[in-house]
């Protein structure tokens, strides 16, 4: 008789707790190992012993700050380790005790019961490109904070810029020409400015690196297809591609919308139905990028010179969706506005439908690539 041993790992930066479930509803802790090379080897040795006792061993642990390093080491040993979505693990409302041992046993039990949702694990190269784009996102946030610090510092000194816009060339020249009353204040301002300029140089370097990656054979076709849409440039296209990676894991466009947290929340019970704001679960970076792109569909739906150039870079059959989406989403925006929806809600609805067009475009590209390899 085939018997499967379900293993749940509670992974932390210092230690790993392993629990197993051999029978439904039952689980027990079988080991605790330091999260080091030596500890991982010892754990894998015990996993191999269990594989010899049972016909199959299945392993999982929660996605978290430790990343996929443990999974990759386990996979190298010949096992298949899956990563669980933490936000979708069932929670017992009355249980207020949380320990590493309990978490490991809970994972093993739920894994056997089929109650866990797995996440897609990118390759090391895909993860590296994704982290590079996330690093750019962090730099943009740091630059914004430094600008705010400089503005607030000058306001505290009674120096208020009277021009129309901040952080233009004229505004920067005004800041550099300031001479404050005390030497320490001048030193503070110069340190702020030098730190800001260093961050901007780093951002420029990362932007160039992302642009060069977008031109690689494995990315250029998808990037061109996304750039054909209004409001999507190379950086936005790379965010979408690097974060989602494989669009074929979504069976339809609605699954992608749900993954991005763009679908409305719902509470229906006892014959009453109530829908609320979007769920905001899933990938926040792609959701934010699509909402920013959605604002471009407010404008009159005309094919600009730039859009025409972008459309010329893609095959004829890939030009239909960008033009169709531009007209449809513009009409949808004003339809929602006339119904009394706020501009923000209307744009979020536009972003949701835009994700559907994007899914259709990229799923066709990925299927075509598979057929080319098979031929």
Confidence tier at 370 by pLDDT (50, 70, 90): confident
Confidence tier at 282 by pLDDT (50, 70, 90): confident
pLDDT for the residue 95: 81
Per residue in 309-323, pLDDT (tens digit) is 999 999 998 999 999
pLDDT at 361 over 50: yes
Secondary structure (3-state) at 83: strand
Average pLDDT value for the chain:
93
Residue extents of the structural domains in the chain: 4-113, 124-214, 217-374
Per residue in 244-267, pLDDT (tens digit) is 999 999 999 999 999 999 998 888
Helix residue ranges, H only, the chain: 37-53, 69-76, 100-113, 124-156, 169-176, 183-214, 217-227, 234-244, 253-259, 284-294, 305-311, 320-338, 343-374
Could you tell me which residue, 192 or 181, shows the higher pLDDT? 192
For 182, phi and psi rounded to 5 degrees?
Answer: -120, 150
Mean of pLDDT values over 234-240 = 97
% of residues, the chain, pLDDT over 90: 83
> 């990925």: which residue's tokens?
366
- Of 181, 163, 179, 183, nearest to 171 (Cα)? 163
Mean of pLDDT values over 120-128 = 94
Mean of pLDDT values over 58-68 = 94
Confidence tier at 94 by pLDDT (50, 70, 90): confident
* Entry pTM: 0.90
Rounded distance, CA 148 to CA 136, Å? 19
Range from 43-52, 117-126, 251-260 carrying the lowest mean pLDDT: 43-52
* CA 229-206-295 angle, 5° bins: 30
pLDDT at 131 over 60: yes
Are the C-beta atoms of 267 and 277 separated by less than 8 Å? no
Could you tell me which residue, 372 or 362, shows the higher pLDDT? 362
pLDDT at 120 over 60: yes
pLDDT for the residue 242: 95
Distances (CA, A) of 62 to 34, 87, 107, 130, 153: 17, 10, 8, 20, 43
pLDDT for the residue 1: 42
Confidence tier at 158 by pLDDT (50, 70, 90): very high
Structure tokens at 301: 């739906």
Structure tokens at 267: 């509470």
Instruction: Tell how far CA 313 is from the center of its chain.
Output: 27
pLDDT for the residue 375: 67
Cβ count within 10 A of residue 4: 13
- Of 10, 196, 199, nearest to 105 (Cα)? 10
Could you tell me which residue, 268 or 216, shows the higher pLDDT? 216
Write down the CATH superfamily of domain 4-113. ATPase, nucleotide binding domain (3.30.420.40)
Confidence tier at 272 by pLDDT (50, 70, 90): confident
pLDDT for the residue 241: 96
């Amino acid at each position: 008789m085939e018997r499967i041993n379900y293993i749940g790992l509670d992974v932390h930066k210092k230690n790993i707790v392993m629990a197993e479930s051999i029978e439904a509803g039952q689980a027990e802790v079988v080991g605790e190992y330091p999260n080091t090379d030596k500890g991982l080897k010892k754990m894998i040795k015990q996993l191999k012993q269990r594989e010899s006792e049972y016909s199959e061993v299945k392993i999982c642990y929660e996605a978290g700050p430790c990343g996929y390093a443990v999974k990759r080491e386990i996979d190298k040993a010949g096992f298949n380790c899956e990563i669980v979505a933490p936000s979708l693990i069932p929670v017992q409302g009355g249980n207020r005790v949380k320990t590493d041992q309990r978490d490991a046993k809970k994972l093993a039990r739920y894994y056997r019961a089929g109650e866990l949702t797995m996440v897609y694990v990118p390759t090391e190269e895909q993860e590296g490109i994704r982290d590079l784009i996330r690093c750019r996102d962090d730099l943009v946030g740091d630059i914004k904070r430094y600008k705010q610090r400089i503005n607030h510092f000058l306001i505290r000194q009674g120096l208020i810029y009277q021009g129309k816009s901040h952080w233009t060339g004229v505004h920067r020249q005004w800041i550099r020409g300031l001479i404050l009353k005390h030497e320490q204040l001048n030193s503070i301002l110069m340190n702020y400015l030098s730190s800001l300029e260093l961050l901007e140089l780093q951002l420029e370097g990362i932007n160039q690196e992302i642009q060069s990656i977008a031109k690689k054979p494995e990315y250029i076709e998808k990037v061109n297809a996304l750039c054909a849409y209004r409001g999507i440039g190379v950086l936005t296209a790379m965010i979408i591609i690097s974060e989602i990676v494989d669009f074929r894991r979504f069976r339809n466009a609605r699954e992608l919308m749900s993954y991005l947290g763009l679908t409305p929340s719902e509470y229906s019970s006892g014959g009453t139905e109530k829908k609320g704001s979007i769920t905001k679960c899933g990938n926040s970076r792609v959701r934010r990028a699509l909402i920013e792109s959605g604002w471009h569909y407010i404008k009159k739906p005309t094919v600009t010179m730039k859009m025409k150039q972008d459309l010329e870079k893609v095959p004829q059959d890939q030009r239909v969706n960008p033009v169709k989406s531009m007209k449809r989403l513009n009409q949808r925006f004003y339809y929602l506005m006339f119904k009394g929806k706020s501009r923000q809600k209307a744009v979020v609805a536009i972003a949701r439908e835009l994700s559907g067009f994007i899914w259709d475009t990229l799923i066709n590209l990925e299927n075509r690539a598979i057929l080319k390899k098979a031929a």
